[in-house]
């Protein structure tokens, strides 16, 4: 996936790094730190004296919003704006010691939907910045359809989703020149921005949109930012990067991390291993474990075919039977395919089916354009040899359907190998409809 969320701290750091290029008329103190616990914060305070000198605000920095409504923004001890370094440290330690419930959406102040429960591991700490509500603004940019769209509002703050009528939208074609962009922004400054601030707002918005474009953000939101004369505070930021641009942004972005969102299950070692293999290979290896105890496992070649198999299993067997989603494609080597197959076989042979049924392994794929079927199947056969005993113990039926370069040999090899190992297998070529083995597996 090309668009990846980054932490608020990283988003601010990227803007700060390029501040003079885009916001030369404004100042931004860039007083912000990210820590994982209280003692780390105290240690940083030895270098960054403002942590000791100013009162602070602390909040989790873990890709979710609505932190205020979740009561996860620390800005008061006994009254607003009195949070000391000591208090911030102890609050961070307290919040990170136990799992926390976080709601991702609210109806008014009432939580909507299920809470996600997980540990808070990353916190962002900044100075408390008293300001008046009228100096708060909203700005964001993203890509909609073929265009970039800039959203601006004179009213910043957490309620902006409920006040879309106060947001001005401006769309830009990818081919728009800098002059056209400036003219469009100037022509669309929200009417609610006070006249004396319109020029400043426009200048900031132009810089913001340029930064969004040139730094290859996929999404960039500041809600709110505070503008007092030429002084800017970035109170709350959300950002996604187009990670395909990473190779040309190494200097601009610095060392960037794409964290898993809060409440998402940590990736299993198996998934991480496949991701590591994928990043090293010219081919594509993808694995998502959906339901490890389910009985149908898929090892499908090709991005499109893998979706078709998943669709068909959901249609014919039901979603509760589907254990994983994944694909291998782009001509992986025998070794890569073997590793991929072993990872799957290992996962699927850990437990027997709770209802005592046999498990099903779908080795599917469309007719390959250039992937050598015999070569990739050699990798699968090697994995069979390693896991044959476990597969027999759990009870696995294997259904194969594949076409493409060298498919006759591939199909013959896998049939002979499985028979020799005493594994149950059925093998089909391009004369059988691509997903028909799912029907056979479900009926059989």
Partner 1 sequence: MAQLFTKDTQAIFWNNNASAIQRMLDYDYTIGRKTPSVAGIVAPTGDSKFQKFFWGSDEIMVPLFKNTTMASKAFPNADVLLNFASFRTAYDVTMEALELGAFKTIMITAEGIPERLARGMNAKARALGVTVIGPATVGAIAPGAFKIANVGGTIENIINSKLHRAGSCGLVTRSGGLFNELSNIISINADGIAEGVAIGGDRFVGSVFIDNLLRMQDNPEVKYMLLLGEVGGTEEYKVIDAVKSGKITKPIIAWCIGTIAKYYDSGVQFGHAGASANGDQETADAKNRAMSEAGMFVPSSFNDLPTTIARVYNELKESGVIQDIVEPVINSVPKVRKSKQFICTISDDRGDEATYAGFPISSVATPDTGKGIGDVISLLWFKKQYPKWATDFIETVIKTVADHGPAVSGAHNAKVTARAGKSVVESLVTGLLTIGPRFGGAIDGAAEHFKYANDNNLNPAEFLNHMKKLGIPIPGIGHRIKSLRNPDLRVVGLKKYASEYFPSTPLLDYALEVEQLTTSKKDNLILNVDGTIGILMVDMWRALGYSEEEINKFISSGTLNAFFIAGRTIGFIGHVLDEKRLEMPMYRHPMDDILYQVDVAEEI
Binding residues for partner 1, per CB under 8 A?
1-3, 143, 145-146, 173-175, 213, 216, 218, 242, 244-245, 247-248, 261, 264, 286, 288, 290, 301-308, 310-316, 319, 322, 325, 327, 329, 365-370, 403-405, 430-431, 433-436, 438-439
Q: Which CB atom, from 31 or from 242, has the smaller least distance to partner 1? A: 242
CB of 124 to partner 1, least distance (A): 23
Instruction: Supply 200's token pair.
Output: 């400043």
Q: Which CB atom, from 184 or from 392, has the smaller least distance to partner 1? A: 184
CB of 346 to partner 1, least distance (A): 21
Q: Which CB atom, from 81 or from 259, has the smaller least distance to partner 1? A: 259
CB of 390 to partner 1, least distance (A): 27
Is residue 377 within 8 A of residue 415, CB to CB? The reply is no
Q: Which CB atom, from 144 or from 187, has the smaller least distance to partner 1? A: 144
CB of 241 to partner 1, least distance (A): 10
Q: Which CB atom, from 378 or from 435, has the smaller least distance to partner 1? A: 435
Q: Which CB atom, from 226 or from 305, has the smaller least distance to partner 1? A: 305
Q: Which CB atom, from 203 or from 306, has the smaller least distance to partner 1? A: 306
Which residues, in sequence order, are CB contacts of 176 under 8 Å at separation 6+? Answer: 184
Q: Which CB atom, from 167 or from 367, has the smaller least distance to partner 1? A: 367
CB of 373 to partner 1, least distance (A): 10
How far apart are alpha carbons 317 and 91 in whole angstroms? Answer: 49
CB of 189 to partner 1, least distance (A): 25
How far apart are alpha carbons 411 and 33 in whole angstroms? Answer: 57
Angle between helix 334-348 and 373-394 (nearest 10): 20
Q: Where are the beta strands (DSSP E) in 256-409?
A: 284-289, 296-301, 324-329, 359-365, 396-401
Buried b (16+ CB within 10 A) or exposed e, 345-380: bebbbeeeeeeeeebbbbbbbbebeebbbbbbbbbb
Using alpha carbons, select from 348, 351, 347, 417 the residue that is nearest to residue 380: 417
Instruction: Supply 215's token pair.
Output: 């730094």
How far apart are alpha carbons 7 and 259 in whole angstroms? Answer: 8
Instruction: Supply 117's token pair.
Output: 């429960």
How far apart are alpha carbons 268 and 216 in whole angstroms? Answer: 30
CB of 216 to partner 1, least distance (A): 6
CB of 75 to partner 1, least distance (A): 31
Is residue 154 within 8 A of residue 137, CB to CB? The reply is yes
Instruction: Supply 10's token pair.
Output: 């990283």
How far apart are alpha carbons 157 and 225 in whole angstroms? Answer: 9
Q: Which CB atom, from 146 or from 195, has the smaller least distance to partner 1? A: 146
CB of 56 to partner 1, least distance (A): 33
Placement of tokens 């029907």 in the chain? 439
Is residue 306 within 8 A of residue 371, CB to CB? The reply is no
How far apart are alpha carbons 30 and 18 in whole angstroms? Answer: 12
């Amino acid at each position: 996936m090309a668009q990846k969320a980054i932490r608020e701290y990283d988003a601010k750091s990227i803007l700060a790094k390029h501040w003079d290029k885009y916001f030369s008329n404004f100042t931004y103190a860039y007083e912000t730190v990210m820590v994982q616990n209280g003692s780390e914060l105290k240690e940083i305070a030895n270098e960054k004296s403002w942590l000791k000198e100013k009162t602070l605000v602390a909040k989790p920095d873990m890709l979710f919003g609505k932190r205020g409504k979740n009561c996860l923004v620390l800005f008061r001890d006994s009254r607003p704006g009195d949070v000391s370094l000591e208090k911030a440290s102890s609050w961070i330690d307290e919040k990170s010691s136990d799992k926390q419930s976080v709601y991702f959406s609210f109806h008014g102040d009432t939580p909507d939907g299920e809470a996600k429960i997980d540990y808070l591991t990353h916190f962002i700490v900044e100075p408390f910045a008293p300001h008046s509500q009228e100096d708060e603004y909203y700005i964001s940019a993203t890509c909609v359809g073929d265009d970039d769209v800039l959203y601006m509002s004179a009213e910043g703050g957490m309620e902006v989703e409920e006040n879309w009528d106060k947001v001005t939208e401006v769309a830009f074609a990818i081919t728009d020149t800098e002059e056209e962009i400036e003219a469009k922004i100037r022509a669309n400054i929200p009417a609610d921005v006070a006249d004396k601030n319109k020029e400043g707002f426009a200048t900031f918005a132009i810089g913001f949109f340029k930064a969004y474009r040139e730094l290859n953000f996929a999404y960039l939101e500041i809600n709110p930012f505070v503008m007092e004369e030429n002084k800017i505070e970035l109170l709350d930021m959300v950002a996604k990067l187009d990670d395909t641009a990473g190779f040309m942004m190494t200097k601009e972005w610095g060392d960037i991390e794409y964290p898993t969102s809060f409440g998402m299950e940590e990736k299993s070692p198996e998934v991480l291993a496949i991701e590591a293999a994928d990043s090293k290979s010219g081919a594509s290896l993808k694995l998502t474990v959906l339901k490890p105890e389910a009985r149908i496992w898929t090892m499908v070649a090709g991005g499109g075919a893998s979706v078709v198999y998943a669709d068909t299993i959901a249609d014919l067997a039901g979603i509760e039977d589907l254990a994983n989603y994944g694909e291998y494609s782009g001509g992986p080597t025998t070794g890569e395919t073997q590793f991929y197959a072993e990872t799957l076989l290992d996962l699927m042979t850990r437990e027997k089916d709770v209802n005592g049924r046999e498990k099903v392994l779908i080795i599917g794929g469309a007719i390959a354009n250039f992937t050598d079927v015999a070569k990739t199947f050699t990798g699968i056969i090697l994995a069979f040899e390693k896991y044959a005993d476990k597969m027999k113990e759990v009870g696995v039926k294997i259904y194969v359907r594949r076409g493409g370069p060298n498919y006759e040999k591939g199909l013959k090899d896998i049939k002979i190998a499985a028979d020799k190992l005493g594994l149950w297998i059925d093998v089909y070529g391009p004369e059988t409809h691509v997903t028909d083995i799912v029907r056979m597996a479900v009926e059989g």
